[in-house]
Structure 1
Amino acid sequence: MPNSEGSLEKCTDQLVRCMNIREGENFAIVGDDSTAYIMTALEASAKAAGADARFYNVSDESKYGSRPFTDIPKEIAEVVEAAAVTFFAVEKIATPEVDELPTFRKKVSPLAKKNGRYGFLPGLNEAVLKKAFNVDYDAVRDFTLKTGERFKRLKSAIVTTMNGTCAEFEFDDADEKFHWMVSTGEIKNPGDYANTIPAYLTTHPVSASGKWIVDAVYQPLTTLEQYKKDPKALLAELRRNPITLRINDVNGVSRITDAVCDNPEIQAFARKKIFETDENSNRIGEFAVGTNIEVKGLSGVNILDECVGGIVRIGHGYGYPATGGNYYKSNIHADALIQRATMLDTENNDIILLDGRF
């Protein structure tokens, strides 16, 4: 079993491996001041592997202007479109006037995938990197691939927790409209893209209904300053005051119809994200399960916690192209994580997860 801490160099070397960086490849590394230390180390690891790597720091106002960006900077757009591989990790910035998700972050992806491979890690910091990549990567990959085959046959499931979650899901086991994406963190071919932290399984459910008690992480809350500074404070707050999401069929579409929390500030915040972003922001666009069985415990950082083995999440807002969930538009995709879930395959009466364990 790997140690809980590894050197930064070891972890960026592992990241280079996940992205299959090859000698001579044009590798664009796009970050900001919040990730500069890691990006500089990644640049060195990639150069050691023979890549033509360069770090672009978008916090440089003399080159790119001030943030939040109302559009992707011209140089970044050109660099990303030309690169064989892009890695992108910047601080999530949103003000009441400008949210960089639609104006900047979402615009990087299609450019990066146009001619190359694309890896991304929103919310990245050194602690997350070390916890995520100081693992037996081959063991995590093999377990994820094996478990993915099991999930691809899944037709329906009930997810419950001792905290009160009880939700039913139907899945496309015929792989006709919706698909399971098995994310091991690897990107190998042009057009491939992934959260490069291993690993998870994700799909767009055919339908969802019931009660979802968010007692781990609600991703939009991670953008708030108090939780950026202390992610574990978010875990503590949602343990005390989880968010209850009610999911119902509304004219053939699975939507969140209510959001309740004993913390009035969190309740108001969640309701605004869910019901006021746009007409599709309350749609259920994702169901996913983390499969990194070597990472223990939660950090409060969404990008890592969603990969922890046995952590189950739904996402509201837009769905992903790889799962067939991109048939409608929304300006938000927000993850809602629960912990210690039990998941029952109702077609075969098989327990897939028991109290958060495979």
Structure 2
Amino acid sequence: MRSEYAHGARNAVRACLNVGANDRVAVIKDKGRLAIAEAIEEEARAAGAEVRSWQMEDLIPRPAREFPRRLAEEILAFEPSVSYFIGEGLEGELAFRQPMLELLRGRLRCRHGHMIGIDHQLMLEGMAGDYEEIYSVTRRVWEVARQASKIEVATRLGTELTATFSPSRRWVPCDGRYWEQGQWGNLPEGETFTAPLSVDGVLVGEELGDHFAPKYGLLPEPISIRVRDSRVVSVELSSRPELVREVEAYFGQHPNSNRVGEFAIGTNTGLRKIVGNFLQDEKFPGVHVAFGDPYGSATGADWSCPSHVDVLASQADVWVDGRKVMEAGRFQL
């Protein structure tokens, strides 16, 4: 194993998914993340598990716009109890990842580590964190958030949002501990999220998720998205009109692509800065809001969407039912 990834791989295998000798571990990876995948595979074998892996480029051209039947059949035959996706998220590849997750989480009930966009820096930072602390902080924030009827968010960049919540929709604690079958999370971990009832105001984001993250990283200028009754009504970024058009096209691809589907609070207190990789940055203490699919199987939302893009507002002030729980990205619990 490359020693620089040893700590992160150990967390991914032992702390997060509790892999042991009775497990069969399926790893789906791409060629750009082979060293990271191999470190995780080696750690899983050291834990006593049987491991099998598949490289995407051996099975389908990238970007992968479907989930190959051959891959599904081979995974079903292997009958894994644990799975990892370790790769880049290219534009259009939700068409690969969504059926993959339905197979791994839904049909096979795997404990799943979803490491989309993982890279060298994230393995040394977010994945090498103190996962006992991440678990503890996430649980405390989840206990507060899940009782909320209204959350207000403000940032120095201009975010001013009010979100309301329904008790019929569940808050999900992404605490980094997925030890029961069917549980999963985006690693590195540390957030709690739900599908809000309504969101209104202005969201000023420093970074976008999905394929925008690897393409643009940290935006040179924050993007301003005005939301009314959970729908995008305008997108503004004066210095990058081409990016505005791209974001507007994303929001226009499906009737629910411009609808707020997720409201989340980052809880990884070990992170010191945002780095331009959304997989880690969404866990930075702050707020992110996603437009598109609300992860209905987890949150209880009764609608769906083939797209999902997050927008990050870090260094946030957050009030839960009038109680200030975060100031400039620092929890006040």
User: TM-score by structure 2 length?
Assistant: 0.92
Give the 3-state SS of the residue equivalent to 2:89 in structure 1.
Answer: coil
Task: Supply the distance in 1 between the matched residues of 2:326 and 2:225 (Cα, whole angstroms).
Answer: 21
Contact 1:28 1:79 in 2 (8 A): no
Q: Deviations over 1:114-137 (max 9, x none)?
A: 222222111111211111122221
- Aligned match of 2:311: 336
Task: Supply the distance in 2 between the matched residues of 1:135 and 1:25 (Cα, whole angstroms).
Answer: 24
Displacement of 1:147: 1.8
Task: Supply the distance in 1 between the matched residues of 2:303 and 2:184 (Cα, whole angstroms).
Answer: 20
Q: Does 1:248 align with 2:242?
A: no
Displacement of 1:170: 0.8
**Divergent runs of 4+, >3 A:** 216-220
Q: Deviations over 1:22-61 (max 9, x none)?
A: 203110011010111111111110000000012211222x
Q: Deviations over 1:324-355 (max 9, x none)?
A: 13x2221111000012111122x3x3111111
Displacement of 1:218: 4.7
Displacement of 1:157: 1.8
Q: Deviations over 1:53-72 (max 9, x none)?
A: 12211222xxx142233321
Query: Which runs of 5 or more structure 1 residues have no equivalent in the other structure?
Result: 1-5
Task: Supply the distance in 1 between the matched residues of 2:65 and 2:273 (Cα, whole angstroms).
Answer: 37
Which residue among 17, 39, 44 is the counterpart of 1:41? Answer: 39
Contact 2:117 2:279 in 1 (8 A): yes
Displacement of 1:223: 4.1
Q: Does 1:356 align with 2:329?
A: yes
Give the 3-state SS of the residue equivalent to 1:11 in structure 2.
Answer: helix
Task: Supply the distance in 1 between the matched residues of 2:132 and 2:324 (Cα, whole angstroms).
Answer: 26
Task: Supply the distance in 1 between the matched residues of 2:17 and 2:170 (Cα, whole angstroms).
Answer: 23
Q: Which amino acid letter does the alignment assign opposite residue 106 of structure 1?
A: Q
Q: Does 1:259 align with 2:259?
A: no
Displacement of 1:221: 1.6
Aligned sequence identity (%): 27
- Aligned match of 2:13: 16
Task: Supply the distance in 2 between the matched residues of 1:70 and 1:160 (Cα, whole angstroms).
Answer: 37
Which residue among 246, 253, 262 is the counterpart of 1:269? Answer: 246
Task: Supply the distance in 2 between the matched residues of 1:215 and 1:91 (Cα, whole angstroms).
Answer: 20
- Aligned match of 2:152: 158
Q: How many residues align?
A: 322
Contact 2:135 2:177 in 1 (8 A): no
Contact 2:207 2:213 in 1 (8 A): no
Contact 1:201 1:291 in 2 (8 A): yes
Q: Does 1:193 align with 2:166?
A: no
Task: Supply the distance in 2 between the matched residues of 1:122 and 1:203 (Cα, whole angstroms).
Answer: 20
Which residue among 307, 315, 337 is the counterpart of 2:290? Answer: 315
Task: Supply the distance in 2 between the matched residues of 1:68 and 1:305 (Cα, whole angstroms).
Answer: 24
Q: Deviations over 1:208-259 (max 9, x none)?
A: 10111112445442242xx3xxx3xx34x1xxx221111112xxxx211111
Which residue among 115, 123, 126 is the counterpart of 2:120? Answer: 126
Task: Supply the distance in 1 between the matched residues of 2:209 and 2:298 (Cα, whole angstroms).
Answer: 23
Q: Does 1:69 align with 2:64?
A: yes
Give the 3-state SS of the residue equivalent to 1:7 in structure 2.
Answer: helix
What is the CA RMSD across the aligned residues, in angstroms? Answer: 1.6
Task: Supply the distance in 1 between the matched residues of 2:270 and 2:306 (Cα, whole angstroms).
Answer: 33
Q: Deviations over 1:259-299 (max 9, x none)?
A: 1111111111111111x211110000000011010111011
Task: Supply the distance in 2 between the matched residues of 1:214 and 1:157 (Cα, whole angstroms).
Answer: 18
Q: Which sits farther off after the overlay, 74-83 or 284-293?
A: 74-83
Task: Supply the distance in 2 between the matched residues of 1:218 and 1:261 (Cα, whole angstroms).
Answer: 16
Task: Supply the distance in 1 between the matched residues of 2:27 and 2:90 (Cα, whole angstroms).
Answer: 19
Q: Which amino acid letter does the alignment assign opposite residue 191 of structure 2?
A: Y
Q: Which amino acid letter does the alignment assign opposite residue 52 of structure 2?
A: R
- Aligned match of 1:3: none
Give the 3-state SS of the residue equivalent to 2:57 in structure 1.
Answer: coil
Q: Kindly report which structure 2 residues correspond to 1:222-233, keeping only aligned pairs within 5 A, or say none.
A: 222-224=213-215, 227=216, 231=217
- Aligned match of 1:106: 98
Task: Supply the distance in 2 between the matched residues of 1:69 and 1:297 (Cα, whole angstroms).
Answer: 32
Task: Supply the distance in 2 between the matched residues of 1:311 and 1:198 (Cα, whole angstroms).
Answer: 14
Q: Deviations over 1:161-217 (max 9, x none)?
A: 121111111122xx3x21110011222222212113221010111111011111244
